[in-house]
Structure 1
Amino acid sequence: MSDRTHDEAAPRFGADEEGLTPLLERNIEILAKRRRRQLAEAGFPDRLAEAVTRFTGSMIFVGAQALAICLWVAVNLGWLPVLPRFDETFVILATVASVEALFLSTFVLISQNRAAAEADRRADLDLQINLLAEHEVTRLITLVRAIADRLGVEEARDPALERLEDHVVPEKVLDELEARQAQDGENP
């Protein structure tokens, strides 16, 4: 067994001088480690797509693109006589721009698919945490009502509290949401 007492092993809930609780700091560090691990475990194609998307979504890329196109146009209109004209009809420029757009859109889609998968994982985690919290709150309501009944507190007999003690069944909630969306003509 550890030399630490139960109190030392348990996370503290009081905020430190920076305003973050040790528990919050721990959670932030866990999330940061998980993100670093996921990035390290990503395959080369995913890392490449992420890097290309990150760069092409920057103002540096926009500036470089604008400069390259202006230079291309200036050269091929003959405004820079020190350089020979090589695309007087701008067909090559249009082809290069089309091919670039094709590749960039593919990289963006790869990155979006990866981000969507991560969002799905986070949504699943959020749902699990929310269901756990709902279950815990329901149990607490039951416990508090029992204590209030034992102490003879009149408000404990409120019929609305009885409904709050019912456990939520997620499947029924989802079924009802889908039924209402279908009834309203929305895509579920």
Structure 2
Amino acid sequence: MNKLEQAENKLEQAEREKLESQSGLDEDAIEQADPIGRSIEEIANLHVHMESKVDRHQRSIETITAFLGRPSFLYIILLFVACWILLNISLMLSGIRPVDPPPFTWLELIISISALLMTTVVLITQWRQNRATELRRHLDLQVNVLVEQKVTKLIELVEELRRDLPQIEDRHDPEVEALKQQVNPHEVVSSFNQLIKEAAREEAAQERE
């Protein structure tokens, strides 16, 4: 009886190990078959890495900028200005010397200083956003160049396969030969700038005519 129980226990243990190994393989297969999920996770990790480098002063300024961009901040400004004007006019009508009589010089000074501070805060926030945008553009350019290289390699492999297959007639395709050439980013930028200059010269010539 003991031997039978031991055999059953070993069989159950073997089945459990088999199921665990299969589940592990299934998880690996699912992970490998989901490149979109991996790409999203990598992009999220990149965003977290970029945000982790921001110091607390920059975060405080960006929090202020986010508050300044809300509609509630506009209502607060309108309420403050209205209360300031009504308070000083009420004091003046009551025979009490107002803090800021018309034309409300102190109010103008407060608004000017506040506008200067808000402009500075917004510019600081915009500077970091522009820097992050520039980094993303460089990343997009690198990805596009890598994709172009992969596509070029695929075209070369397809052409080699076509030449090796006897049932397919071998022929010369100029378009394919052009697509097989790797794109040089410097040449693309130079050609683009040249086209812009030529278009500007043509437009200037038409204006003179």
Give the TM bin, normalised by the shorter chain.
0.7 to 0.9
Q: Percent identity?
A: 28
CA distance 1:148–1:6, change in 2 (3 Å): farther
For residues 32-57 of structure 1, what are the alpha-carbon distances to aligned partners after superposition, in whole Å with 9 as ceiling and x for unaligned? Answer: 34333433331233112211111101
Residue in structure 1 matching 2:168, options 153, 157, 169: 153
For residues 21-73 of structure 1, what are the alpha-carbon distances to aligned partners after superposition, in whole Å with 9 as ceiling and x for unaligned? Answer: x4333333333343334333312331122111111011121111111111112
| Separation in structure 1 between the aligned mates of residue 89 and residue 190 of structure 2, nearest angstrom | 64
Matches for 1:165-180 after TM superposition, within 5 Å: 165-180=180-195
How many corresponding residue pairs? 176
| Structure 2 equivalent of residue 183 of structure 1 | 198
| Structure 2 equivalent of residue 120 of structure 1 | 134
Which range moves more in the overlay, 125-134 or 155-164?
155-164
Q: CA deviation at 1:155?
A: 8.1
Unpaired stretches in structure 2, ≥5 consecutive residues: 1-20, 202-209
Q: CA deviation at 1:84?
A: 7.2
| Structure 2 equivalent of residue 96 of structure 1 | 110
SS at match of 1:42: coil
| Structure 1 equivalent of residue 3 of structure 2 | none
Q: CA deviation at 1:78?
A: 1.9
Q: CA deviation at 1:10?
A: 7.3
Residue in structure 2 matching 1:111, options 110, 114, 125: 125
Matched, 1:163 2:178: yes
| Separation in structure 2 between the aligned mates of residue 161 and residue 7 of structure 1, nearest angstrom | 41
For residues 102-132 of structure 1, what are the alpha-carbon distances to aligned partners after superposition, in whole Å with 9 as ceiling and x for unaligned? Answer: 0110011111110010001100100000000
Q: CA deviation at 1:182?
A: 3.1
| Structure 1 equivalent of residue 205 of structure 2 | none
Which range moves more in the overlay, 34-43 or 106-115?
34-43
Q: CA deviation at 1:169?
A: 0.5
For residues 116-162 of structure 1, what are the alpha-carbon distances to aligned partners after superposition, in whole Å with 9 as ceiling and x for unaligned? Answer: 10001100100000000000000001111111222253486321111
Q: CA deviation at 1:74?
A: 1.6
| Structure 1 equivalent of residue 151 of structure 2 | 137
| Separation in structure 1 between the aligned mates of residue 74 and residue 40 of structure 2, nearest angstrom | 33
Which protein shows a greater Rg?
A: 2
Which range moves more in the overlay, 158-167 or 176-185?
176-185
Q: CA deviation at 1:9?
A: 6.4
Residue in structure 1 matching 2:100, options 87, 102, 119: 87
Unpaired stretches in structure 1, ≥5 consecutive residues: 14-21
Aligned alpha-carbon RMSD (Å)? 2.9
Query: 1:163 is aligned with what amino acid?
Result: A
Question: How does the TM-score come out when normalised to structure 1?
Answer: 0.80
SS at match of 2:181: coil
CA distance 1:146–1:169, change in 2 (3 Å): same
| Structure 2 equivalent of residue 58 of structure 1 | 70
CA distance 1:39–1:7, change in 2 (3 Å): closer
Which range moves more in the overlay, 133-142 or 38-47?
38-47
Structure 1 or 2: larger helix share?
A: 2
Which range moves more in the overlay, 29-38 or 105-114?
29-38
